[in-house]
Each structure stands twice: as structure tokens, then as C-alpha cells.
Amino acid sequence: MTFSMPKLIDLHQDLGYHILNGRLSRSLDEDDVNRHGDIPAYRRANLYIFVGAIFPMNVGDSPYSSRISRIYGEESQLFNITPFGSSTNIFQILSIYWRLVREYPSDLNIIRMADDISDNKINILLGLEGTDGLDDVSMVTPLYLAGLRLIGLTWNFDTKYAASCLSKKDYGLTGYGMELLNELNRLGIIIDLAHSSRNTMLEVIEESSLPVLNSHSNYKEIV
């Protein structure tokens, strides 16, 4: 009996952020073990869909870098992350993913609706990791039109929308956060609770009219 490789769905790839910060100098169609992924590695793994993360944080001198490095268990310049996101970073990384699709049209594809999924390509679902660079809820519509289909409410810093998993005061979902949740539900954008605080998670699950996702977190228990 022979077994075929199952199709793989990866819910978090930081590809765009690494390209923005100059970490991926070689072409994406070259095999390079020193990066998160590339087309040859994706093909070997039979990767069908991955969430192309859009990480909005700025790199720079930060008092939080040592704490974050301890949490992740590694030292890296990329952990010199300030607690301030940038809408410019969001649109730059969005542009990077679209550029990759133009450069590798036979391999990569961006999903905006279910019918966009290709059986022969590596499909990318664009997702924002943290609302730090989301200046206002009105930004959601242009991001949606640019292909964004998933938004994580926080990374490791609190935002005006929600408390994060590292919050010292778990205030959960704010009034702005409730406004954002309603807009995401209206557009059908997936809400990702990875990195969110306990109260944020519970309040979003209670208030959302659509199912939510927890893409890359540990679970306390399964019931």
C-alpha cells in the first residue's frame, strides 16, 4: 500500500517580515535552510495553504527586547522590536506578498475568496499579526480590498483594541475593539486570537457572530 503526502496548511509564516528586514537575500525559488521557508521546501512538504503574516512592528532599540528574547529562547536583532506598529509597514509587507506572486506566478497564489484556491499552487492567505499599526477601524476596508483576510488582534503588546497575552492588566476587548470586531464580522475577515489575553479571547468568542481562529497558541485544555 502506498501513501500520498497529505496537503499541509500552515497557519503562520513570517515570510514578508523577513524580506522587509533584509533576511532573505536569495531568490525564493532557491533552497535555503537558513530561512523559515521557500518554494522548494514548501513543495517538498506539499504545502497547500499558508497564512502570510503581516507583522507591523518597527525594529529598533527597545527595552522589551531582552524579555521577548527570553520568551522565544533566542537572541536576535529582530527581537529589538518597539511597542509601536506602523501602517506603512503593513502596506509594505502586503506589497511584498503581491510582488512574490508576480515573480513566481506558477508557484504562488493569493486567496481572496474560496474559488481562488488553486490545487497546483501554494496558496497564501494574507493575515495581519497585531493591530499595533491599525490607526483606525476605517483602515480595514482598504486592507480588505488589498487582499487581507485575517486579523490577529494583538501580538505581545497591548493595543487600543485589545489586551495581549503579556498584558499586566488584562482589560480584554475595548470599545474600539468592539467596533473593530463588528467591522471584521461584516466583511467576513477571520479573527485570530493568537497572542491575545484570556479576557480578550473570552469576550471575542462571546461577541463574534462568526467562528474565530487561534492560529499559533498553546491550549490550556481541550474539552
CATH of residue 25's domain is: 3.20.20.140
With 70 as the cut, is the pLDDT of residue 2 above it? Answer: no
In angstroms, the CA 181 to CA 6 distance is: 34
Could you tell me if residue 223 is inside a domain? no
Please tell me the total count of domains within the chain. 1
Predicted confidence band at 56 (pLDDT cuts at 50, 70, 90)?
Answer: confident
Could you tell me if residue 205 is inside a domain? no
Q: Which of 101, 166, 103 is nearest to 130 (CA)?
A: 166
The reported pLDDT for the residue numbered 17 is 87
The predicted-structure confidence for 149-168, as pLDDT tens digits, reads as follows 999 999 988 999 999 998 99
For 35, the domain range is: 8-151+172-184
Cα torsion 84, 148, 167, 216: sign: negative
In angstroms, the CA 13 to CA 192 distance is: 14
Could you tell me if residue 201 is inside a domain? no
The predicted-structure confidence for 93-105, as pLDDT tens digits, reads as follows 999 999 999 999 9
The predicted-structure confidence for 21-52, as pLDDT tens digits, reads as follows 776 667 999 988 877 789 999 999 999 999 99
